[in-house]
């Protein structure tokens, strides 16, 4: 079981996105990228980077020129998985099954979609079967 994912704020997420796209990067490279898409000051961006290091969402290497290069410790995939789960829990609580059933009834699904859903359900059934043994 991997350790709890750190809570990442929306602003911090913007920093993570830059480093998910390409890493490692120096603080200045991250700042340059975010200055073009946000109106944040370099100092703000540095604060966000430091916070993410404290939360263990980022780590860094030091190169010969003593520049810190940052890289993510949390993968985008992992983050999305956990966020999706907590979002569904928050919104639907225990009512996830009715939501899913409703979605499947209403949604226009292609045969490709149906086959993929079948495959996922079969895998789940397999897993449960193995656990029950």
Mean pLDDT of 102-122: 86
pTM of the model: 0.68
* Per-residue confidence (pLDDT) for residue 58, from 0 to 100: 97
Model pLDDT, residue 56: 95
Q: Give residues with Cβ within 8 angstroms of 12, minimum separation 6.
A: 48, 51, 52, 55, 57
Q: Is the pLDDT of residue 6 over 50?
A: yes
Edge-to-edge strand ranges of the sheet holding 68-72: 25-26, 68-72, 58-62
Chain position carrying tokens 């079981």: 1
Q: Mean pLDDT, to the nearest integer, of 48-65?
A: 93
pLDDT in tens, 76-95: 999 998 888 887 777 777 67
Kindly report the average pLDDT of the chain as a whole number.
88
Mean pLDDT of 33-41: 95
pLDDT at residue 11, rounded to an integer? 96
């Amino acid at each position: 079981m991997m350790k709890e994912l750190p809570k990442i704020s929306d602003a911090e997420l913007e920093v993570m996105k830059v480093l998910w796209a390409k890493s490692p990067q120096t603080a200045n490279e991250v700042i340059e990228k975010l200055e073009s898409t946000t109106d944040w000051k370099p100092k703000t961006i540095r604060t966000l980077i430091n916070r993410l290091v404290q939360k263990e969402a980022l780590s860094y290497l030091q190169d010969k020129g003593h520049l810190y290069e940052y890289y993510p410790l949390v993968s985008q995939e992992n983050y999305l998985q956990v966020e999706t789960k907590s979002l569904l829990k928050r919104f639907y609580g225990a009512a996830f099954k009715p939501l899913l059933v409703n979605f499947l009834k209403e949604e226009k699904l292609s045969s490709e979609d149906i086959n993929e859903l079948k495959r996922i359900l079969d895998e789940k059934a397999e897993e449960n079967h193995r656990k029950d043994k």
